[in-house]
Amino acid sequence: MHDLDRPLAGVKGRWMTGLAGADAAPPAWRALIGTGPEAELRLLALTGQAMQVGFRPVPAQALTPAQPLPTLALPTMPDEARMRFRRIAREKGMVASF
């Protein structure tokens, strides 16, 4: 995907200066985006797709699955009681804040 680095930099540079980016688009893209007022929107869609899909980072090493989280010793507090518990704990000085 290094062959897209320079054309995309040119397109983004033109956009940042307020110019149309279609002139700096790769030649294969010019046929796809066409002309007219919607050409820049099509170019924006193609550029966004290229940046999200074409430039994904690759992990440095093989990924390994993480261990599952341990089960809790006690059940969690019901949602409706949490705010009351936090208020009481704050009043008693048990915790700084949640």
- Count other Cβ atoms within 10 Å, centred on residue 50: 17
What are 24-65's pLDDT values in tens digits?
Answer: 888 888 888 988 889 999 999 988 888 888 777 888 889 899
Does 2 have pLDDT greater than 70?
A: no
User: Cα–Cα distance between 23 and 30 in angstroms, integer?
Assistant: 8
User: Cα–Cα distance between 93 and 82 in angstroms, integer?
Assistant: 16
